[in-house]
Copies of this chain bind each other. A is one copy, B any other.
Amino acid sequence: MPTIAIDAMGGDFAPAAVVKGVAQVSMSTDILCVLVGDERQIQEVLEETPYNAEQIDVHHASEVIGMEEDPKEGIRRKPEASIVAATRLVKQGRADAVVTAGNTGAAVLACVRHFPVIPGIRKTALASVYPRQIEYEGQDHLALLLDVGATIRCEAVDLVHFALMGSAYARRISKIEAPQVALLNMGREESKGGEVMVEAHRRLRTLPGMNFVGNIEGHELATGRADVVVCEGFLGNVVLKLLEGLSEMMGDLAASAAQQNWRWKLGLAMLSGGVGRLRELTDYARYGGAPILGFEHLLIKAHGRSTELAIGNAVKVAAKAVRDQVPGEIKAAIQQVR
């Protein structure tokens, strides 16, 4: 049974939401959890929550890197930060993977510090999931987008590695046999996007075992054309935040509409099915999290606004990834192209 180290202090609703989410996991699965953070605060939450004590350990960490803190500074100044301690547990073999809803940059840097990079990989990637329409039977309603900010600019070889890593992850986690992989570009034609994109396109098209569906444009992200969307971190970061921003705006609009008058309130109630579907397509906080890929170990980054449910999902995803040996799968894929 995998052991997951959870950064109890990371996220907008930490430690309460994190500890409660883990408590629920301990009641409904066999996953072993180590809550890493301020022991007293963690215990306080545990005391008022039902949980299975046999499956939860607490590992004290005296410091916290805040959500808005500069990641480099945080990592440098706080060697006892919860996220650093959590990755250290994996390095020491005391846990198999990490889950955090905290500062993303700090999570990446903690991995850099404690996890070896898979041989052959030049750049690790931060992935994210986003909901989209479904095009074929059995397709996951979430697509994987990477990189969303671990890199800025990339070479063609890095984009190829991202494609391999994303494809391996989706194959194991979403149980899609041959995930459709696309390059996010400014046009569908293989000649589009400049040298790096053209070269990446050429390599992916001829890569054995890769189900490469070609270039994808911005408006196709919302469709089910690609299960794994590959791009450099600068672009992926802007796209992800834009999607999140629109999702939030949609929520605000619906809420303000509901407040304004009784007719709208009644209308919203009548529409609840449709609004629910819209929400589902745009609400990120409900989904568990997304992996940092390219290291020998996995870290699942849950959304900063993660609720108990989202944390629980992230822990389950992490356990599944460990059981299904995702890093090993990636290692094998990279070996093949070296």
Contacts and interface: CB of A to CB of B under 8 A. Distances in A.
A50 interface: no
A128 to B, nearest CB: 12
A207 interface: no
Interface in A185-235: 185-187, 193-194, 217-223, 233-235
A220 to B, nearest CB: 7
Nearest to A219: B245
A237 interface: yes
Interface of A: 133, 149, 152-153, 184-187, 193-194, 217-223, 233-235, 237-246, 248-250, 253-254, 257, 260, 263-264, 266-271, 273-274, 277-278, 281
Contact of A270 (B217, B243, B248, B266): B266
B239 A238 contact: yes
Given A257-B271, A277-B253, A186 B264 contact: no
Contact of A219 (B153, B223, B244, B273): B244
Nearest to A217: B241
Given A235-B235, A266-B267, A270-B270, 13 more contacts: A194-B234, A217-B238, A218-B237, A218-B243, A219-B241, A220-B245, A239-B239, A242-B243, A260-B274, A263-B270, A267-B267, A267-B270, A267-B274
18 contacts: A133-B249, A186-B234, A186-B238, A194-B234, A218-B237, A218-B240, A219-B241, A219-B242, A220-B245, A221-B245, A222-B242, A238-B239, A253-B277, A253-B278, A257-B271, A257-B277, A260-B274, A266-B270
Nearest to A235: B235
A239 to B, nearest CB: 6
Contacts of A248: 219
B278 A271 contact: no
Contact of A271 (B194, B246, B250, B271): B271
Which of A133, A217, A239, A270 gathers most chain B CB within 10 Å?
A: A270
B274 A257 contact: yes
